Amino acid sequence: MKIGIDVPVVPVIVFTDPKTWIATPTQEVDVFRLSGLRSKVSRLFEQYPAALGEELLDYVKEHFIACYQKLVLKRIYPKVSVLKGVVCIGCRVQMRHERKGFRCMQCGTKTMNGIYEALHDYRLLYNDWITNQEFRDFLGVESIYTASRMLSKLGIDYMGNFKNRKYVIPPNILEMASKKGN
Ligand SMILES: [Zn+2]
């Protein structure tokens, strides 16, 4: 529907989860965390001071509200590289999987429960479920058997038989970490 108004449309990608680290922001579209939204909007107001007067703004707002309908959102795959797997909080690099947990190759920090945060990130970025192969790719685990053992240890639901098994990442995956107490 046309309403006959010229307004600048500025696409941005905003990560609402503060734990997401953006390794290489893309040049094509601004990518930032929620904390950066306020200053982005301020800059836009400076950049387009005369774009919309208050009256027009009200009109557009009412129009958008009238047009509102619940959309089934499709997942988008932005062309940015997001740090994968278990990330060292201090160094912001991917930690390497070892026999017992994960280790940061820069500072030597070890962690056991980074797996919950990694799966939480995976769920937000890609999908509610993960296969053994995807798990290995994302967390940098080499062995299919190790990955399978790690996944079944989590005690999360799965669908399908061994070969095509999909593990369902629950929305409360982070709370599971504290329940396990490790
Ligand atoms: Zn580190």
pTM above 0.95, yes or no: no
pLDDT score of 92: 83
What is the DSSP-derived secondary structure letter of residue 112?
A: S
- Region 48-69: mean pLDDT is 79
C-alpha 104 – ligand 1 centre gap (Å): 5
Sorted by where each starts, the structural domains of the chain and their CATH numbers stand as: 1-82 (no CATH), 83-180 (1.10.10)
C-alpha 96 – ligand 1 centre gap (Å): 10
C-alpha 106 – ligand 1 centre gap (Å): 5
pLDDT score of 157: 93
C-alpha 27 – ligand 1 centre gap (Å): 28
**Beta partners for residue 103, in sequence order:** 96, 110
C-alpha 15 – ligand 1 centre gap (Å): 23
What is the DSSP-derived secondary structure letter of residue 105?
A: T
pLDDT tens digits for range 80-117:
566 788 988 888 888 999 887 899 999 999 988 789 98
Q: How confident is the model at residue 129 (pLDDT cuts 50, 70, 90)?
A: very high
Instruction: Evaluate if residue 182 carries a pLDDT over 50.
Output: no
C-alpha 29 – ligand 1 centre gap (Å): 29
C-alpha 80 – ligand 1 centre gap (Å): 22
C-alpha 117 – ligand 1 centre gap (Å): 16
Share of the chain above pLDDT 90, in %: 29
Phi then psi for 3, rounded to 5 degrees? -120, 5
